[in-house]
Each structure stands twice: as structure tokens, then as C-alpha cells.
Chain A
Amino acid sequence: MAPLEPYEKIYVNPSFLKTPHGEIRCETCHNGNPRDPDWQTAHTNIVKDPTFPEADKSCGECHEDIAATAASSLHYTLAPFSSIIKKRANKKDEEVFNKVCLAKDKHCNACHSSCGQCHVSRPDYAKGGFLAGHLFQKKPCMDTTCSSCHGGRVYGEFTGLNDGYPADVHYEKEEMTCMDCHTGKEMHADATGVSSRFDLPERPECEKCHPNVLSEKPETRSHSIHREKVACQVCHAVANKNCFGCHVGTDKKGLTFYKSGETKMLFKIGLNPDKTKKKPYNYVVLRHPPADPGLFDFYVKNGLTDFDKLPTWKLDTPHSIQRITPQNKTCNNCHGNAALFLQEKDVTGWERKANAKVIVPAGKIPKPVSNH
């Protein structure tokens, strides 16, 4: 996504002034002095994003219900990041633990969002700038808003940017956007105590649009056989992007940096480590995120001593859905095809313990179907 020119970032379209938000005086939300002709002094104490960290005092004035929960939503707080890093952190040494938390805040929390950074401007992580001359966007454009932060993996999969891999059928054939599944209800949902985005009750569910698939009498035989045994993506997703290794730090100029390792397009099926009523499946699709025990080594050695408390191959819902995929063309494209399943040989030594619950042992790889 091309960055905006500096003037484009701050140009207010005059039509904005005719909208309900445009009727509010600038200084009510942004502070500053509207009568000062000197731009430098006029911007004293200016508030660039009035919607963070106090959404209730800006948006909440009129949108009380939404602001109340949006301020504790996944995008606003990135709460699962904290809970995952805390689980992996060295909690025995308080000094080390505090350094891990500082590094997390400096690097991981940089890509949170706010009401304004979805509905008015691009997120700070993408260097900001108005989406449409300060006109509020009820449904932001996925190409400028969602892709700002999700451009590395999900957006590319969904829109077919990975060479040799098709775009998601929902995008390609139905011209759906992120917001067609990830509704405002989900975006603004309270995520207090949620340790994974998959635990959010408001998350998208395939059966909302495809109710027959999980019904008692599905139309297709394969759905009646596999119903509730495998996640939808196991049959209907193609490869996802996996990242291996990430280290963060600060350079001599004080600028933060990251160094991430190689990326690979892979398709790996694993055991479901966390079966619930909503996710009863035996098999799920996995992805290797840019997780590394040396992530914060620049700031503190041995900061993530409990790294193996969580798998490094994580539950994933690839956004590369197809009706026909290489693994579902015939029964035996999957049954007996060990290469599709995450095995012990696929993980490096230090990851074996961490991934014990998701690695598929030889005995659990479905056997070939003989009469096919």
C-alpha cells in the first residue's frame, strides 16, 4: 500500500463540514487553538487521535454503547498478545519479567488500533493519514484499513497475492470484503479475559452462511462423514504463510527494528489442542507465527524461559478458502497423505515439547480408503 503524501494525510474534505461529525468544533476533540494563525503555536497540546486511549470521552459522548465495549476489544487492547507473552515469560525473576513487558509494549503493542484509526484514518502502524479527507467511514475500506496491519499474511491470502495460490473464493467469486464476515459486532466486542481471538463469541462462523453443512442431514456425503471431526479449513483451505523466527531491538538512532526469518507457504494439519463445544474438531489447520524464544534477547536474556508452555504451531483459519482443494479432490489425497500432517520430524528440537499437543502421531494420520 503506497504511503500518503504529508498534505494528503491531513487534508480535510470540505464536505466533512456538512456531516454531523463536521458540526463539532475541531478543538472539542483535538484541542489546539483555532484562532491562532500561526500553525506551530496553534497546534500546542494538539491531540492527534482523540479516540485513544479514552474512547469513552470522545466517541462515547454519542456512541456510548459501542465505545464502552470497543475500548476493551481485541483491536483496541491486543489483550491476547499480553496473555501469550506473559505465559511464555520468565515469571520467577521480577526484573527480567518487567523488561519483557517493556519490550512487548514497545514492539508488539505498536500495532493496536482505535476507533479513529479504523473509521477516520489509517492506523498509526501504517503511518496514519485520513482515509477520505476526515469523512468518517462507517465500513472502512479493507484495502487501506485492514491491510495496513493484516497485509503480511491474511490480506495476501484472501486477495491472492501469493504467487501460485488462488484468492479466497469469497473474495474472487462473491466479491466479499473482510467486513462481510468480521462485522462491527465482532470488531466492537468486549474481549476482556479473552486469551485467544478464537475464543471471542462474536467471531465469524462458516455455518452462519452455510447452515446445511453442519446440519443433521448435510447435502454432501463428505460433509456427513467429516462433520464436527475436522475444521472446515482442513478440507477447504490451501497453503498459508508461515514465518520462522523474529527478533526485535532498537538501533543506534533509537529507532525500533525487527528481523524476521524466512517465510514459507505450507499447509499443515494438526491435532486440535483445545476442543470446545464450538470447536469439537479432531483436526485443525496450523500456522507457524513469527514466534521465537530469543524474541526479546536484545533487551533481556532468558526473558521467555517458559516459551514451550504454548505451541509454536498455532490454530489457524487460513483466508484461502476454495471449494475444491488439492487435499479434498479425492479421499486419498488426504487419507494416508502423511505430508499434510504436522509430524515430529517437521519441528525443530526445542519446539517438540511446545507442540506435543498438536503434532499428529503416525497412528492418528487417517488411513487410506481402500474402496476408492
Chain B
Amino acid sequence: MKKVKVLVFGSFILSSLFLMSLTPIVSFARTTTSDSECINCHTNLKKLIRLSWEIEKIRPKPAESAETSGEG
């Protein structure tokens, strides 16, 4: 019984150490993502909606010629 307890405790310690060793990799991936302003902005819908209003003020939507008629 004592041996089983030691085995369980040992496995717990080992798996904890293994999981801890993975933590820096995860945070590295996150750091890389947040390093890119492209990703920060283009994956944020709220930000894109606000920016699209701003862009429309500076650069209005390209118009289509009113002279076009018929099927293209």
C-alpha cells in the first residue's frame, strides 16, 4: 500500500513537472501573436469596425460610374 502511494505521488510530481515545462512554450506563442500589430488588429472585429468608419472618412468607397448600363 505504501508503495502504491509513493508511485501515485511520484507520478503526480512527474506529470506536474512535465506540464510546467510546457508553460513557457504557450506563453512564447502568445507573445509572438501579440507582437504583431497586424494580427492584433485584423482579428479584432470591434477594432476593425471602428477603423472602417475612420477609413471611410479619409477614403470614401470607390464609386461606380453612373454611366454603366446593362448586364456585365
Contact = CB atoms under 8 A, between A and B. Distances in A.
Interface of A: 5-7, 10-14, 17, 25-27, 30, 32-37, 39, 42, 134, 152, 243, 246, 249-251, 253, 255-263
A260 B68 CA distance: 8
Size class of the contact patch on chain B: 20 to 34
Interface string B43-72: 101001101100110000101111111111
B39 A152 contact: no
Contacts of B51: 7, 39
B41 interface: yes
Given A17-B33, A152-B71, A26 B38 contact: yes
Contacts of B64: 255
Contacts of A249: 67
B37 A34 contact: yes
A327 to B, nearest CB: 26
Given A7-B48, A11-B45, A257 B65 contact: yes
Contact of A34 (B35, B45, B61, B69): B35
Q: Which residue among B41, B51, B71 has the maximum number of chain A CB atoms within 10 Å of its CB?
A: B71
Given A256-B65, A258-B68, A259-B68, 20 more contacts: A5-B52, A6-B56, A7-B45, A7-B48, A7-B49, A10-B48, A14-B43, A17-B33, A27-B38, A32-B38, A33-B37, A34-B37, A34-B38, A42-B37, A134-B42, A251-B67, A253-B65, A257-B66, A258-B72, A263-B71
